[in-house]
Structure 1
Amino acid sequence: MSNKWNQLFFESEIPFYIYKLNKGDSLIFKYQIKYKPLIIIFYGTVYVMKIFTNSESIFIAILTNKSVIDFNCLDSNYVYYKVVALENTYFIKFFCLDYSANYQYLLTSIKLLDLFRYTLKQYESSLYILMHKSIRYRVVQLLLLLCRDFGVLNKNYVFIPFELSQKTISYITGSNPITVNKVMHFLIKRLFIKYIVKNKILICYFSFFNYLRNNKIT
């Protein structure tokens, strides 16, 4: 945990807890009557799924450090949220009751408002993925989002710095692995993308972005 977050919470005298979620692990959030937590991601990347009792699921967002996970609006036993780590991720958890009793420390309030604004932007960006009816367009939109927000620039490609299996892509895009496999195979065949390191780390070539600028993926 960084000294910045340590100092902020110690000075505010708000009780807090630190958790680590290893890559591929998940947290489940269910309906609670009392003591609903607020969680801040201070390192790492996760994606959030909303899951119904009939096992249907909806992708909600990809969140990274400086994001807030707030499920205090969760008021039903018929759904729960699953937070899955794309890489090793660290959280700070505290409870709204503890925070509400400490308004005198205004700096904490300002920091949290900034985090909520940043999180809202991430939710809005994630929604663009599901706006498309076509699974191929959803996959392309996901790749563009990941390259923009997380990509590491190299000479002729953008490197996504965490594992992104086709199974994960299928969860996020609301498709099945077979359809996603066909889309990824199409993009690989066109030399737009490439998997490295046991088919889990993805790179997107600049030719991919140049093509999208002038053409539609069909």
Structure 2
Amino acid sequence: MEWINNLSRTQIFYYVYKLNTNDSLVYFDNLKQNQYVVILEGTVCILKIFNNKKVFFVSILNKNHLLNLIAMNKNSSFYYKIIAMNKTYVISFAINTKSDVNPRVYLNIIKAQGLTLKKYEIINCILKQQYYKYKIIQIILFLFTEFGTINKKHISLSFQISQKKLALITGVNKTKINQVINVLVDKKIIPFSSCKTIQICNIYRLFFLYCY
């Protein structure tokens, strides 16, 4: 509500979108103003899609993270797709640099950009990992520590992460993803799922497997 209240006081027009799981928003390079999208609730996956149909994973973001779309979309050879991982609410608004904007709005934007940059940095470090095994394990650890709910030794996510999505996120082919997942199942770190989704039974074993 803080974003809505501050934008309303400043008389900045905004739109709130409700996205159900797997709903998406697409943004091209035809934006004329400094456009922002803030996640009010939920989790989204950001993909960069080129004209040649190649798809690259950018990040997974959640509450109070922000996308600066005018800065992101300056190259017409690609566009960005925002996919809801669970029920998500986002707010979209544009700011004219010549307009008189409440400083609190700018402060909120700066804070949200800081959160987003931290997520980008973490994910970039993971994706630079040379060995696919550690890349997969690191991204699983990241997802569950950032977005998971802990109950004793068990960690669950508010959204489903399939092996197919892991392949998209890491850039590792599904065969290698399956190999690593099978090892984790054998070591009873994650349970077998016929739905191809992932949960963690014992995160300590996963840390141990990564460290050694």
**Common fold: TM-score over 0.5:** yes
> TM-score w.r.t. structure 1 length?
0.88
1:63, CA displacement in angstroms?
A: 0.6
Structure 2 residue corresponding to 1:167, chosen from 160, 164, 167 = 164
Quick one: distance in 2 between partners of 1:25 and 1:202? 23
Quick one: distance in 2 between partners of 1:36 and 1:214? 43
Deviates more, 1:6-15 or 1:27-36: 27-36
Deviates more, 1:187-196 or 1:158-167: 187-196
2:190 corresponds to: 193
Quick one: distance in 1 between partners of 2:34 and 2:51? 21
Relative to structure 1, the CA distance from residue 146 to residue 133 in structure 2 (aligned partners, 3 Å threshold; closer, same or farther) is: same
Structure 1 residue corresponding to 2:60, chosen from 59, 62, 77 = 62
Q: Secondary structure at the match of 1:193?
A: coil
Q: Deviations over 1:117-161 (max 9, x none)?
A: 111111111112211132222211111111221111112222222
Quick one: distance in 2 between partners of 1:190 and 1:154? 20
RMSD: 2.0
1:167, CA displacement in angstroms?
A: 1.1
Structure 2 residue corresponding to 1:9, chosen from 7, 12, 15 = 7
1:94 corresponds to: 93
1:158 corresponds to: 155
Gaps spanning 5+ residues in structure 1: where?
A: none
Structure 2 residue corresponding to 1:20, chosen from 2, 18, 30 = 18
1:81 corresponds to: 80
1:102, CA displacement in angstroms?
A: 2.6
1:196, CA displacement in angstroms?
A: 5.3
Relative to structure 1, the CA distance from residue 170 to residue 210 in structure 2 (aligned partners, 3 Å threshold; closer, same or farther) is: closer
Deviates more, 1:142-151 or 1:199-208: 199-208
Gaps spanning 5+ residues in structure 2: where?
A: none
Question: Is the contact between residue 46 and residue 59 of structure 2 (CA under 8 Å) also seen in structure 1?
Answer: yes
Matches within 5 A, 1:128-143: 128-143=125-140
1:12, CA displacement in angstroms?
A: 1.5
How many residues align structurally?
A: 211
Quick one: distance in 2 between partners of 1:75 and 1:190? 47
Q: Deviations over 1:41-65 (max 9, x none)?
A: 0101111111211122221111111
Question: Is the contact between residue 33 and residue 70 of structure 2 (CA under 8 Å) also seen in structure 1?
Answer: no
Question: Is the contact between residue 36 and residue 72 of structure 1 (CA under 8 Å) also seen in structure 2?
Answer: yes
Relative to structure 1, the CA distance from residue 30 to residue 165 in structure 2 (aligned partners, 3 Å threshold; closer, same or farther) is: same
% identical equivalent positions:
29
Relative to structure 1, the CA distance from residue 64 to residue 7 in structure 2 (aligned partners, 3 Å threshold; closer, same or farther) is: same
1:163, CA displacement in angstroms?
A: 0.6
1:33, CA displacement in angstroms?
A: 5.0
1:79, CA displacement in angstroms?
A: 0.9
Question: Is the contact between residue 163 and residue 178 of structure 2 (CA under 8 Å) also seen in structure 1?
Answer: yes
Quick one: distance in 1 between partners of 2:98 and 2:160? 38
Q: Note if 1:205 corresponds to 2:199.
A: no
Question: Is the contact between residue 24 and residue 86 of structure 1 (CA under 8 Å) also seen in structure 2?
Answer: yes
Q: Note if 1:124 corresponds to 2:157.
A: no
